[in-house]
Amino acid sequence: MATATLTIDLDALLHNWRALDARSGAETAAVVKADGYGLGADRVARALMRAGVSRFFVAAAEEGAALRQAIGPDPEINVFSGHMRGDTDMISDMGLTPMLNSVDQIVRHVEALPAHPFGVQLDTGMNRLGLEAPEWDAVRELVLQRGPTLLMSHLACADDPEHPMNPRQLAAFKEMTDGIEVPRSLAATGGILLGEDYHFDLTRPGVGLYGGMPFVDAAPVVSLRIPVIQVRDVAAGESVGYSNTWIAQRDSRVATIAAGYADGIIRAMGEKVDVFADEAHCPLIGRISMDMIGIDVTDVTTEPSEVELLGQHQSVDTLAHAAGTIGYEILTSMGQRYQRRYKSS
């Protein structure tokens, strides 16, 4: 087999959800947008339902519709992008709950689906989605009369516990919502870790479920093993890969592995990461190409048939650091060519 195997450990996913759930007295939902951060929203959500999750969040109505078909009629599916033009039938038919972000969305929803559930997103300083304070003041009574299911906002800097933006947003959220008898939500993964002041009635972890920062205690959920296509001798002074960027400083053994930037192994990682043959480090050499990568196996005792890029030795955040990005991008870039295997007890 010349494609890599991506293994998703659903037991580790559930461990992470339970660990985050235990950090607050609030209800704990789950964010499964971007196809469950690239790991398969259908499988991820069904596993989380076994742990008791009954509320999910997705980015768009189309994601919500696909999730509804996968998990059935009972769980609540909330849509961050709200009620967009053209979404009305999908929201109604699939029983989705839009988080309304603007006065236009509120009007659209109330006129098209006056009895249908909705939540409201408030902007507390991130300037991305949600009603700003003056807009909220203008429509607040109208909205509250119609019984929203949730008032929510999103923290911009929760991955940095000392950032002054966190308490500023908390104060703004409380000013906009204190005294209202509607469930509230401010915390995703980083917000949960900031402590109980940020928890309110509902938390909605995302990346921490999948083993990513800032949840440093997360169990690894993803492992990636890549087959070796060929091993060759390379004499000192010879080069490997495009543009001769790696030149052997000694007589070497070089393996070509079957993955590349088309599979989400970001080209900018270059030679900043290793792969592992059992416990042995095998440096990446030369440029990451579309479908193949060279690795140095000179010092490996037994020539490997496959190597590990992600797993117990190396996390998504290690790869992200090497690529100058974040773990979210690594997870959501995982290539469609991978053979996917789900582990669950």
Active-site residues, by number, are 33, 242
What is the spatial distance between Cα 31 and Cα 17, in angstroms, rounded to a whole number?
A: 11
Residue 233 C-alpha from the chain's centroid: 40
HSE-CB at 151 with a 13 A cutoff on CA atoms is 25
> Distance between the two ends of the chain, CA-based, in angstroms?
26
Q: Are 277 and 300 in contact (CB under 8 A)?
A: yes
Q: Which residues of 138-173 are buried (b: 16+ CB within 10 A; e: fewer)?
A: ebeeebeeeebbbbbbbbbbbbeeebeebeebbebb
The token duo for 146 is 């119609």
What is the spatial distance between Cα 7 and Cα 36, in angstroms, rounded to a whole number?
A: 14
The token duo for 82 is 């709200």
Q: Are 223 and 331 in contact (CB under 8 A)?
A: no
| Residue 324: other Cβ atoms inside 10 A | 11
Instruction: Show the DSSP H helices in the chain as ranges.
Output: 10-21, 33-37, 41-50, 61-71, 88-93, 103-112, 133-145, 165-177, 189-194, 316-323, 327-332
Q: Are 169 and 124 in contact (CB under 8 A)?
A: yes
Q: What's the full length of the chain, in residues? A: 345
User: CB under 8 Å to 140, separation ≥6 — which residues?
Assistant: none
